[in-house]
């Protein structure tokens, strides 16, 4: 009987972190979506999260190859739990990496990259 109780406690302890994962700060969706090829350059880059991104920690940056692409200051939208920035100039055809950094309710900083391509005419 005791061994069954120990096994049950071990199972719950192992499964609990996996069950809690939806409560972590993570990307829900983005515009552009990861891996997409666009026919036209986006005017806004926006990422939605499972929790409100923390101000002062959360930001977006954009790269084309090794070069930084200038963006407006990252804006946090509390209503939609998202952050966005606009390219300061029209984006040329090519491959881009939208990098995000943010923290949610637990304060742990997370990072990620959303890759997209703008097709040549």
In a domain, 84, yes or no: yes
16 found inside a domain: no
Q: Number of structural domains, the chain? A: 1
**pLDDT tens column, 40-65:** 999 999 999 999 999 999 999 999 99
In tens, the pLDDT along 2-21 reads 554 444 344 434 444 443 34
- Report the alpha-carbon distance of residue 101 to residue 60 in Å, rounded: 7
Distance from C-alpha of 95 to C-alpha of 35, rounded to nearest angstrom: 10
Tell me whether residue 15 is in a domain.
no
**Average pLDDT of 30-36?**
98
30 lies in some domain: yes
**Residue 1, in any domain of the structure:** no
């Amino acid at each position: 009987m005791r061994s069954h109780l120990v096994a049950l406690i071990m199972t719950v302890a192992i499964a609990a972190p996996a069950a809690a994962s939806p409560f972590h700060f993570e990307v829900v969706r983005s515009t552009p979506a990861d891996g997409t090829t666009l026919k036209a350059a986006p005017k806004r880059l926006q990422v939605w999260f499972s929790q409100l991104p923390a101000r002062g920690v959360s930001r977006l940056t954009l790269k084309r190859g090794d070069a930084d692409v200038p963006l407006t200051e990252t804006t946090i939208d509390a209503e939609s739990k998202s952050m966005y920035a606009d390219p300061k100039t029209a984006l040329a055809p090519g491959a881009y990496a939208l990098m995000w950094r943010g923290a949610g309710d637990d304060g742990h900083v997370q990072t990620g990259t959303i890759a997209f391509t703008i097709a040549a005419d």
